[in-house]
């Protein structure tokens, strides 16, 4: 049993971790959506840019992008530090590392099976996700999301891949694995944890519009269920990384092929 003092400490720890990461992002996103819906311009005529230039000078833009990547992983380092175990697997409480017991699911090394599971999960989420985004945009409940507005340079795609990795590690290790472990310590049931995690995921995407909120809540429920079922974080990280790489690096191609669907509204 976790003592009352320990539970209080865990609650404070969760509050601090979220205040340094996605809790703060959720607050900013809520303010952003209020700002958006109170403007004269319709939500569907607004844009939300995810990756933008941080300097007009390419060399300094690269430096700032790399700094954003490195410091953006600080909250991940914090939860790794907090949940590090002295025995192997050191990150078992985050669902990482060699499983303690063999799952018996297929042949091959554990990391290959989990990576393959992540690829399948990305396909299951990605294709319906694009359709839902276009639907939400068409009915006027979402902005036009611009995954990247970076200028073309030799480092653009590698930086986008790194930013996708930062998002994947941060969201899946903090919003899913960390919260699952901490909520379990507090006696919160699995479905309450899944729903709470999914609502948090949706809330910090509200800056994109209500479609971004709903779509990410659905994604959060699926990812939460997968994590509850298998207790493994690597498939979620791989799936999220693939989805964001496809979104970030593939956006210029999608824009060139289907400008009416993915382009920013005129005017």
Q: Residue 29: pLDDT above 60?
A: yes
Q: Residue 22: pLDDT above 90?
A: yes
Phi-psi group of 211: left, alpha or beta (phi > 0 → left; psi -120 to 50 → alpha; rest → beta): alpha
Contact 146, 255 (CB under 8 A): no
Q: Residue 102: pLDDT above 80?
A: no
Kindly tell me the burial class for residue 30, based on how many C-beta atoms sit within 10 Å of its own C-beta (0-12, 13-18, 19 or more): middle
| pLDDT for position 265 | 83
Please report the sign of the dihedral spanned by the C-alpha atoms of residue 36, residue 220, residue 195, residue 178: negative
Q: Is the pTM of this model over 0.85?
A: yes
Domain coordinates of the chain in residue numbers? 4-90+111-262
Q: Residue 109: pLDDT above 60?
A: yes
Mean pLDDT (whole number) for 232-248: 98
The mean predicted confidence, pLDDT, of the chain is 95
Mean pLDDT (whole number) for 5-30: 97
Q: What percent of the chain has pLDDT over 90?
A: 91
Q: Residue 107: pLDDT above 80?
A: no
Report residue 225's pLDDT band, with 50, 70 and 90 as the boundaries.
Answer: very high
Mean pLDDT (whole number) for 60-70: 98
Q: Provide the terminal-to-terminal Cα distance of the chain, rounded to the nearest Å.
A: 60
Inter-axis angle of helices 22-37 and 4-19, nearest 10: 50
Q: What is the rounded CA–CA span in Å between residue 131 and residue 138?
A: 11
Which residue did the predictor score with more confidence, 105 or 253? 253
Contact 121, 236 (CB under 8 A): yes
Q: Residue 118: pLDDT above 70?
A: yes
Residue whose tokens read 């996605």: 22
Element (H, E) at 236: helix 234-257
Element (H, E) at 62: helix 58-72
Distance of CA 242 to the CA centre of its chain: 11
Q: Which two tokens stand for residue 62?
A: 């690269």
């Amino acid at each position: 049993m976790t003592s009352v003092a320990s539970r209080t400490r865990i609650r404070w720890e969760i509050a601090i971790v979220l205040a340094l990461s996605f809790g703060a992002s959720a607050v900013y996103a809520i303010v952003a959506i209020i700002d958006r819906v109170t403007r004269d311009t319709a939500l569907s005529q607004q844009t939300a840019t995810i990756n933008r230039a941080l300097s007009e000078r390419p060399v300094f833009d690269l430096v700032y992008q790399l700094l954003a990547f490195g410091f953006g992983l600080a909250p991940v380092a914090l939860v790794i530090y907090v949940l590090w175990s002295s025995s192997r697997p050191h990150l078992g409480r985050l669902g990482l590392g060699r499983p303690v017991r063999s799952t018996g699911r297929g042949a091959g090394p554990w990391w290959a099976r989990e990576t393959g599971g992540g690829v399948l999960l990305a396909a299951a989420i990605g294709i319906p996700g694009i359709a839902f985004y276009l639907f939400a945009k068409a009915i006027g409940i979402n902005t036009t999301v611009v995954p990247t507005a970076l200028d073309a340079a030799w480092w653009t795609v590698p930086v986008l891949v790194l930013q996708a990795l930062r998002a994947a590690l941060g969201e899946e290790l903090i919003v899913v694995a960390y919260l699952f472990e901490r909520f379990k310590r507090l006696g919160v049931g699995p479905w309450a944890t899944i729903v709470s995690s999914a609502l948090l995921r949706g809330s910090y995407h509200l800056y994109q519009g209500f479609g971004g909120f709903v779509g990410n809540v659905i994604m959060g429920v699926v990812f939460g269920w997968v994590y509850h079922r298998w207790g493994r974080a690597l498939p979620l990280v791989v799936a999220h990384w693939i989805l964001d790489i496809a979104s970030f690096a593939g956006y210029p191609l999608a824009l060139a092929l289907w400008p009416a669907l993915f382009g920013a509204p005129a005017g």
